[in-house]
Amino acid sequence: MKVLALSGGVGGARLLDGLYELSPSMTAVVNTGDDFVHCGLSVCPDLDTVMYTLSGLADETRGWGLKDETFGALEQIRAFGGPDWFALGDRDLATHLLRTDAMRRGESLSAVTSRLCGALGITARIVPMSDEPCPTLVDTVGEGTLSFQHWLVRRRGEPEVQAIRFEHRPPPAPGLLRAIEGADVVIIGPSNPYVSIDPILRLEGVRQALQEKVVVAVSPIVGGRAIKGPLATMIPQLAGVPASADAIARHYGSLLSGMVVEHGDSVTGLPVLATETIMKSRNERVALAQRVLAFAAERLR
């Protein structure tokens, strides 16, 4: 079965790790709305979290960056009074240096992503949602419009969100729409719909391509709470309803063929699989991925 996943954030990368174990030649379409230039370097957090997770190099505790990391460069940036609010690790810097250099020489984000992932032995196809910048903007109450990382990291996601906005609508990355058309099932990971999945869905042609497909989403909300990140407060702020798996299903609307939720959570109006969705180990990631793919395959019939 040809599997394609839409992913962003830490939760999305964890399910992706399980899907990758079962389908090593799968395609992952990854959010680039979190990307920004920091100290002159092109930083692509969601692409890097996927690359590090699938290659086994990710720091599972921190949820981003590399394990066995040191922060000597960051300490020296701090000593100079430079911007230390975004922690770039010494080994992580290698990714940003090589990617920034390659893109400055004209290599596309897709090409450099494929090259770096290949160098780490990743056999899945990791596709940025677009090769052009598409920064996510956060309109806040009281602090105006902030860039995504400024809101999430520098301000710890505290300013109340009025709207999530995008100033550009670049073309999808080359081959992205064809990859969706060629997939048997599309899995949306347990990611934040507003800032990790919507940036992908709003690109030209993506929703249309998905209409023909079996699309199954895994709820990022369990028992009214988010496992990680600011989603549980964003839902009431943006949708005016309490955080729930059902609010996630409503957000995606007719796009979904089915939804996977945690035992005890419920969703109305579409086929639901209630199961263990909290992934505390790699085995649990693979086990959940197995259940998600079986549930998606049933929708194919």
Residues contributing to the site for ligand FO1 (CB under 6 A): 9-10, 34, 43, 45-46, 48-49, 64-65, 86-88, 92, 149, 152-153
Q: How far is the CB of 72 from ligand FO1 (least distance, A)?
A: 15
Q: Let me know: does 6 contact 189? Beta carbons within 8 Å.
A: yes
Q: What DSSP assignment string belongs to 106-134?
A: T--HHHHHHHHHHHTT--SEEEES-SS--
CB nearer ligand FO1, residue 41 or residue 297: 41
172: its two tokens: 């999808």
We find the least distance from the C-beta atom of residue 47 to ligand FO1, in angstroms, to be 8
**By C-beta, is 47 or 293 nearer to ligand FO1?**
47
For ligand FO1, give the closer residue by CB, 151 or 295: 151
Asked whether the beta carbons of 65 and 92 are under 8 A apart, the reply is: yes
Q: Name which of 10 and 26 has its Cβ closer to ligand FO1.
A: 10
Give me the least distance between CB of 195 and ligand FO1, in Å please.
7
Shortest distance (Å) from residue 209 CB to ligand FO1: 24
CB of 196 to ligand FO1, least distance (A): 7
CB of 204 to ligand FO1, least distance (A): 24
Smallest gap from Cβ 197 to ligand FO1, in A, equals: 12
> What is the maximum span of the chain, computed from C-alpha positions, in angstroms?
61
Residues 15 and 286: beta-carbon distance below 8 Å: no
Q: Which is nearer to ligand FO1, 48 or 265 (CB)?
A: 48
- Residue with smaller CB distance to ligand FO1, 139 or 298: 139
Q: Residue 92 and residue 115: Cα distance in Å, rounded?
A: 16
CB closer to ligand FO1, 90 vs 284: 90
CB-wise, 71 or 252, nearer to ligand FO1?
71
To the nearest whole angstrom, how small is the minimum distance from the Cβ of residue 274 to ligand FO1? 26
